[in-house]
Amino acid sequence: MLLQGALLLLLALPSHGEDNMEDPPLPKGACAGWMAGIPGHPGHNGTPGRDGRDGTPGEKGEKGDPGLVGPKGDTGETGITGIEGPRGFPGTPGRKGEPGESAYVYRSAFSVGLERQVTVPNVPIRFTKIFYNQQNHYDGTTGKFLCNIPGLYYFSYHITVYLKDVKVSLYKNDKALLFTHDQFQDKNVDQASGSVLLYLEKGDQVWLQVYEGENHNGVYADNVNDSTFTGFLLYHNIVE
């Protein structure tokens, strides 16, 4: 230690060439005989500082060019049916329809039978047993049906045959339209019948009649066997 102090003292003394030179001023607060120390080791890195504040948003940029149209997507699922909308206003009334048929029901019908087995050939057969003739369109005194309502009619007859052959025709206005022939079988009661649809105008007449003489007049009736004649209107044809 003493040696080191002596060396330091010698170094501090001025040389001869520098006797007249002024000593440089010492740093403020420095002690006499001060020497620079050995550089120290670098310090440790400090703790990272906090994030800075967000900057002010920049101005909005210009709108870019439209991109290319992409491919068509798949069809989506059907949506739920919406609620029923409000009721619309009434539409314009349609054209007036064609006149319908009258509500009035047109009736014309009769059903009659033979009371006596005696009939005369070549004249209308008079059926005087009345089953139905409410409209009185059948005349029992003449044996003829008189059409009062034009339209389509249905006529039928059922004849009991006994003792002789029978030939019966259905006439319309003096013209035979339907013919029925039945041959009598000995000791037996036979039946003959016929039916037809006819369109009649008002005033037309329809009746039954035996033709070809007395040998074909086997029309018969008694208390257990009937011969009948029936007709009725199917639909009318009234022009208003």
Query: 103-143 pLDDT, tens per residue?
Result: 778 999 999 999 876 678 889 999 999 999 999 999 999 99
pLDDT of amino acid 240: 46
Tokens 């009991």, located at residue:
160
What confidence score (pLDDT) does residue 111 get?
98
pLDDT attached to residue 29: 53
d(CA 41, CA 154): 140
- Give the whole-angstrom CA distance, residue 187 versus residue 161: 11
- pLDDT at site 137: 97
Sign of the four-CA dihedral 19, 22, 24, 29: positive
pLDDT per position as a tens digit, 152-181: 999 999 999 888 888 999 999 999 999 999
Nearest to 205 by CA among 107, 106, 158, 137: 137
The pLDDT assigned to 178 comes to 93
Predicted confidence at residue 194, as pLDDT, reads 95
Categorise residue 136: left if φ over 0, alpha if ψ from -120 to 50, beta otherwise: left
Q: What is the mean pLDDT of the chain?
A: 83
Write the CA distances from 183 to 64, 128, 211, integer angstroms: 113, 25, 14
DSSP state of 124: B
User: Does the pLDDT of residue 203 top 80, yes or no?
Assistant: yes
CA-closest candidate to residue 169, choices 200, 206, 127:
206
Indicate the pTM of the whole model.
0.56
If we measure between CA atoms, which residue out of 180, 172, 185, 240 comes closest to residue 211?
A: 180
Q: Longest Cα pair distance anywhere in the chain, in angstroms?
A: 203
The answer to which of 31-45, 64-78, 153-167, 191-205 has the lowest mean pLDDT is 31-45
- pLDDT of 10 higher than 60: no
- Residue 2: CA count within 13 A, CB half-sphere: 0
pLDDT of res. 74: 85
Cα–Cα dist 180/156, whole Å: 12
Ordered by where they begin, the domains of the chain are 107-234 (2.60.120.40)
Whole-number pLDDT of residue 136: 96
pLDDT at 18: 46
Which pair of tokens denotes residue 224?
A: 């257990």
Count CB atoms within 10 A of the CB of residue 146.
17
